[in-house]
Copies of this chain bind each other. A is one copy, B any other.
Amino acid sequence: MKKVLITGASGFIGRQVTKQMLERGYTVYAPSNSSALEEQKGVVTCEMDLFDREKLISYLREHKFENLIHLAWYVGPKCHMNFGNADWLSLSLDMIKEFIANGGKKFLGAGSVSEYDFSYGLLREKETPLDNHSLYGQAKAALFKVGGGMCRQAGVDFKWARIFNLYGPYERAARLMPSVICSMLKGEDVKVSPCTKFLDYLHVEDTAAGIAALFDSSVCGAVNISSGKPVQLRTIVEEIARLTNFKGKILWGALEENFADPVLVGANERLTKEVGWSPKYTLTSGLEQTINWWKEHLK
C-alpha cells in the first residue's frame, strides 16, 4: 500500500489533493490541528499542531514516510507580509531534514506565483528571476532553494508546484470570487476593484490534479500549476453575473486594486507537456460548478 503524508490536507487546495491521491491509490496521512477534513476511507487523520516540533518529529520517525506533499503554510491576516512566513520556512526545513533522515524518497512542496519577480508578466520556471517583494514570496523561494538543495543532495526527488490564482468550492468567503458569487446570488449590488488586471486562474480541482500528476510523474524541480492563459478580472466578474442571471449593479472601482502589476500569467509547458496534465474545466464550466456549490452552501 502506498502511503503519502499530506500537510494542510484540510485546506482549500489540500482537500482536493487528498481526493486526487486517494483516487491514485494512496493512503493519505493527514496531521491537522483543524477538524475541517471529513472522515473518509483511506485517510488517516492525526490531531497535531505542526509547530509542536517534538510531536511532529516523533510522528515522522514512527511512520517513516517515503512520500510527502507539504501544502500547509501561514494563512491569516496580511499573509504576504506576516513574519509567520519565516516561522513556516523554519518549520518546513526542519520537517524536510527529518523526512530525509527517516527514509524519505519523494517530496512535493507548494510554491507560489508570488515567488517570481512580477515585473516579468509571463512567468517561466527556469528563466524568470525569483525576487518578489513579499515576505511570503521570499520565504517560499527560500524553501524552494534550500529545501531543494537538501533533497537533491540526499537523492530525494524534489518537486515544487508553483500555484497560481485559484477558485472553486470551499474558498474562504472573504476572497474575491466567493464574495462576488454570494453577492450576486443574493441580488446585492457588487463592489469590486476596477478589475483591469489579467491573471492566471485555475479551478482548484484542476490545480490539485496537476499537483497529483506532478507527484506521480518523473518530473522534478519547479513546475507552474497554471492555465497558461491570462484572463481579465472584469471578464470573470461579468461571467459570474451572466451565470447567476444577476440584475443588480456592478460598482467597478468601488474597491482599490490590491497590487499594481497588470499581467501575471504562468507558462505551463512543463505541466502540459512534461507532466502530461490537462484541465477538466473551462472558465465557464468551472465558475458554473462553483456557483452551484455556493447555491447549496449559502444559507
Question: Which residues of the partner chain B approach A129 to less than 8 Å between Cβ atoms?
Answer: 129
CA distance A129 to B128 in the complex (A): 11
Question: Which residues of the partner chain B approach A86 to less than 8 Å between Cβ atoms?
Answer: 93-94, 96-97, 146-147, 150
- Quick check: which of A19-27, A35-43, A133-141, A204-212 contacts chain B, the rest being far away? A133-141
CA distance A134 to B153 in the complex (A): 10
Minimum CB–CB distance from A116 to chain B (whole Å) comes to 13
CA distance A117 to B146 in the complex (A): 15
Question: Which residues of the partner chain B approach A138 to less than 8 Å between Cβ atoms?
Answer: 145-146, 149
Minimum CB–CB distance from A75 to chain B (whole Å) comes to 18
Q: Is the CB of B135 within 8 A of A141?
A: no
Q: Is the CB of B153 within 8 A of A81?
A: yes
Question: Which residues of the partner chain B approach A139 to less than 8 Å between Cβ atoms?
Answer: 146
Q: Which one, B94, B142, B153, contacts A145 given CB within 8 A?
A: B142
Question: Which residues of the partner chain B approach A83 to less than 8 Å between Cβ atoms?
Answer: 97, 150
Q: Which A86-109 residues have C-beta < 8 A from chain B?
A: 86-87, 89-90, 93-94, 96-97
CA distance A147 to B131 in the complex (A): 14
What is the count of identical protomers in the complex?
2
The answer to the question of A85 belonging to the interface, with a C-beta cut-off of 8 Å to chain B, is: yes
What are 25 A-B interface contacts by the 8 Å CB criterion?
A83-B150, A85-B146, A86-B93, A86-B94, A86-B96, A86-B97, A86-B150, A87-B93, A87-B97, A89-B89, A89-B146, A90-B93, A90-B94, A129-B129, A131-B145, A134-B149, A135-B149, A135-B153, A138-B145, A138-B149, A139-B146, A141-B142, A141-B145, A142-B145, A142-B146
Q: Which one, B94, B135, B142, B153, contacts A142 given CB within 8 A?
A: B142
10 new A-B contacts at CB < 8 Å, known A135-B150, A138-B145, A142-B146: A83-B150, A86-B146, A86-B150, A87-B93, A89-B89, A89-B93, A89-B142, A89-B146, A135-B146, A135-B153
What count of chain A residues pass the 8 Å CB interface test? Answer: 25
Question: Which residues of the partner chain B approach A142 to less than 8 Å between Cβ atoms?
Answer: 89, 141-142, 145-146
Q: Which residue of B lies closest to A143 (CB)?
A: B142
CA distance A87 to B93 in the complex (A): 8
Question: Which residues of the partner chain B approach A131 to less than 8 Å between Cβ atoms?
Answer: 145
Question: Which residues of the partner chain B approach A96 to less than 8 Å between Cβ atoms?
Answer: 86
Greatest chain B CB density within 10 A among A86, A131, A139, A153 is at: A86
Minimum CB–CB distance from A248 to chain B (whole Å) comes to 39
Minimum CB–CB distance from A57 to chain B (whole Å) comes to 14
CA distance A30 to B129 in the complex (A): 38
Question: Which residues of the partner chain B approach A134 to less than 8 Å between Cβ atoms?
Answer: 149
